[in-house]
A and B are shown apart, each in its own frame.
Chain A
Amino acid sequence: MSRESVAREKADREDGELAVGESGVDASIEVEYTKPIPRPDAHSQPFFDGSLRGELMLQRCSACGRWMWPVRARCIECFSDDVAWTAASGTGTLYSYTLVHQVFHPGFASEIPYNLAMVDLDEGVRMVTNIVGVSNEELRAGLPVVVEFERISDELALPKFRPAEA
């Protein structure tokens, strides 16, 4: 990683810590979690709010029923703007996966190689995530999975997926 990008990452992290401090939450929790912290914006806030309370929230078109991920401006099927955040089942199957050997962020260095996965949710959307609760060697396309939420700060949680109970 170049010095420039390291500096940029550092600046990003410091920004993140400031944001936590401003909200009055003890910033010391940041010391424990070293991976990049996503920054919710107005469009993605309902997704993050849902993750924090343990619900996988997706946009769903009220007109035609199409589910969507990631955040879209309008229904990707009928182009309606009547789109509502709705709790998804949290179940799906593993579409594909990779084991990442490159370190782009120091927060992942100790987990190399770590898995990245695409999960096909029962609602018909494909989500990039990590698979937990199973060794990388046991990953295979078609594996039934269910969501679980990893708390990364007092304010944020991320959806991960683990093999569904047989």
Chain B
Amino acid sequence: MASTGAIAGLGITEMGKIYGRTATDFAAEAIALALDDAGLVKPDVDGLLVNGNLSAEMNPNLQLTLGFEDLTLLNVMNAYGSTPATMLQYAFAAIDQGQANVVALVYADAPLQPATSAGAAYGTRQGLYGMGGVLNAHGFYGANPGYAMATQRHMSTYGTTSEQLGAIAVSQRQWAMNNERAQIRKPLTLEEHQASRYIAEPLHLYDCCLVSNGAIAFIVTSAERARSLRQPPVYVLGVGQAAPGDSQRTDRHPATHTGATRSGQLALGQAGVGLADIDVLELYDCYTYTVLVTLEDYGFCGKGEGGPFVEDGKLGPGGSLPTNTGGGQLSSFYMWGFTPLSEGVIQARGQGGLRQVDEHDLVLVSGNGGFLNYHSTMILSPHES
């Protein structure tokens, strides 16, 4: 289909252990960078969509804090790591209806503090009340155990191995080595992946994403206006969301069968393209396993065949299926769904530098959240149709 809207600006702050700055501060910088990238200024903005997350600062008051005035579109949106797709749907609908013209999307967080491990900083923002208290009482904290159990289930059912997951980590590190923004750029071998300490078995340290302080913002506008701006427009040809539901009923298996299947069908259908047309993948990668199961559920390989599919390194530089070309959340930075979307925009524009994929007419971006409960898919292109 012909796109009605486009991503016209991208702003990425410094990422990682950047101390002494608030999430709001990062958000302000990212939006400023995105506006400058697009060739727009603050008064042009009449819409602000904030990705709700674990930072208490990501609330509607961000508009006041950042000094945006006379907005006609304002919301905090949160479907966890699948949020950007729904933000794009909402922003484009408003733009189509003449309710907004220039919409800023922002994700910001600053959980890291000096002398705190990333896991502790991210995993302990929970309480003891109600059902959550039952989880804590059994030793369930943060996201790691849930994804570890999903991974173990896949291993038990299909014979997937830790080495196969390691191939994903190694491929993505190879990409990160050519991304100057990546938090970790030193080479990673499969042996180092296997030797890295366990976080929650079967997940090793290098199966798990980073935690980052920082922010990313996008500027979204109509396709027509985007063409008059500073950067080559990135058209959004298709968007899909899928939230399959309850993971605690035994007739459902989101651990091994995710919403990627449905959201992929929706986005590809809207774009009028097939999997074989996709040149670049930017897949949500909170863990190596998330990449593996997402590839399966989109249909790039059969169910249960993700391990053998990735182990030849086809996801890495020079491989047949370039995936997470900036290093992803495993090696570059962790900004929920904004990480894969930001790299998707860079690749679609052809601005990836040393890591740029030659063929980048169609970029598939995924989002994921919860314990594989929430999913989204976006199809990006430098071409309007």
Contact = CB atoms under 8 A, between A and B. Distances in A.
Given A104-B141, A124-B250, A126-B248, A44 B130 contact: yes
Q: How large is the interface on A (under 10, 10 to 19, 20 to 34, 35 or more residues)?
A: 35 or more
A135 interface: no
Contacts of B120: 1-2, 5, 104
A98 B149 contact: yes
**Most A CB within 10 A of own CB, among B121, B128, B198, B246:** B128
B198 A99 contact: yes
A84 interface: no
A141 B136 CA distance: 23
Interface stretch (B32-40, B65-73, B151-159, B164-172): B151-159
Interface in B122-171: 123-124, 127-131, 133-142, 144-145, 148-150, 152-153, 156-157
B124 A5 contact: yes
A37 interface: yes
Q: How large is the interface on B (under 10, 10 to 19, 20 to 34, 35 or more residues)?
A: 35 or more
Interface string A85-118: 0000000000111111110110010000110111
Contacts, number: 142
A122 B135 CA distance: 21
Contacts of A113: 198, 201
A127 interface: yes
Given A38-B128, A118-B149, 16 more contacts: A1-B117, A4-B113, A5-B120, A9-B124, A39-B129, A43-B130, A44-B131, A69-B248, A71-B131, A98-B148, A99-B200, A100-B144, A104-B141, A104-B142, A126-B250, A158-B134
Interface of A: 1-2, 4-5, 9, 12, 16, 35-39, 41, 43-44, 69-71, 76, 95-102, 104-105, 108, 113-114, 116-118, 120-121, 124-130, 140-142, 152, 158
Interface of B: 113, 115-117, 119-121, 123-124, 127-131, 133-142, 144-145, 148-150, 152-153, 156-157, 197-203, 246-251, 255
12 contacts: A2-B120, A2-B124, A9-B124, A12-B128, A41-B129, A44-B134, A99-B200, A100-B148, A100-B200, A101-B197, A104-B141, A108-B139
